[in-house]
Amino acid sequence: MVAIVNHQSEHLTAKALCCVAAAAALAAADAAVVRLLAGEVHAFVIGFFRCLFGLATIAPLIVARPRVLKSGYRLQHVTRAALKLAALVCFFMAFAAAPLADAMAIMFTTPIFLMLGAWLWLGEKLTPGLVFALVAGFAGALIIIDPAGQGGMETALLLAVAGAALQALVQLMLKRMSDLDSTETLVVWNLIVTVPLAAVPAALYWTTPDLREFALLALQGAMGAANMALMTKAFSIADASQIAPMDFLRLPFVAVMAWILFGEVAGLSTWLGAAIIFAATMIVVGGGRLKRRVAED
């Protein structure tokens, strides 16, 4: 019996890792699409079309399984959607103006903000190791931002930091909401609510996309919906400590795309800062796993 349970656990972990690897590739491609649209389509308009095409992608699921709309939450979906939209716009602005690898590396501070949020709002205790991880994570981000040497990119990279903080808030809500709602329900309602929310600021900065831009926006919307579903599924079947390392594949993926498409080469400060953030994140997720094991014992 124990062997069967272990085999099932290993199978679920392998499935989660595959989901995260695929999501990492999609996230890198997403960033590249935003850069291709930079200067042509405003970030608010990109956010609107991303959600609209994402909703169109999952519309067949809603038609085939209308029960997916049944939810134990109402206002929480609106709040989560607004925070998610704000995080997306921050990331889009960062991708448009800053080196892609730098912006992507800073996105990995999300677990650091998540730990900080769990301490502030959920009452979780901070151990000396987690405090060290918190300081190290922000130090890594500061190395990448490099106020003295970025040549005016600081604002764009600070937007990436803001996006990471907002994304952490979204994940804190997601953790609570997954108690009552399924993965599919969370994804569906997020897109349904975000479309009208995104339409308001998009109207203020509206420019009608041409055929090329429209195709890129449609592609990005489909990739965004797939990314969200893959990551939500991964977190629902495996611990964050198991899948967090695989999520860092986003950095080499986006570095390769930035080099091929835009001739950007990630500098030493990018990799050094990312390595420090990675180590800090591993301390955070490892501490969470240890805490669960102690509780189980």
Please give the Cα distance from 105 to 277 (Å, whole number): 8
Rg of the chain over all Cα atoms, to the nearest angstrom: 19
Of the candidates 288, 249, 228, 267, the one whose C-alpha atom is nearest the C-alpha of residue 107 is 249
Q: What is the pLDDT of residue 172?
A: 85
CB 104 within 8 A of CB 248: no
CB 216 within 8 A of CB 37: yes
Q: What is the pLDDT of residue 45?
A: 94
Which three-class secondary structure state does DSSP give residue 45?
helix
Per-residue pLDDT tens digits of the chain, which is 297 residues long: 545 545 566 677 788 888 889 999 999 999 999 999 988 899 999 999 988 988 888 899 899 999 999 988 888 999 999 999 999 999 999 999 889 999 999 998 988 888 888 888 877 787 888 889 889 998 999 899 876 555 567 888 999 999 999 998 998 888 788 788 887 888 899 989 999 999 999 999 998 999 999 999 999 888 887 887 888 788 777 776 677 778 888 999 999 999 999 999 988 889 999 999 989 888 877 655 434 433 333
Please give the Cα distance from 268 to 10 (Å, whole number): 36
10 Å CB burial of residue 154 (0-12, 13-18, 19+) is middle
Q: What is the pLDDT of residue 213?
A: 94
What the block records as the tokens of 238 is 């495996």
Of the candidates 165, 78, 132, 144, the one whose C-alpha atom is nearest the C-alpha of residue 284 is 132
Q: What is the pLDDT of residue 294?
A: 31
What separation in angstroms does the CA of 283 have from each of 136, 191, 227, 275, 287? 10, 33, 25, 13, 6
Q: What is the pLDDT of residue 290?
A: 38
What the block records as the tokens of 8 is 């099932």
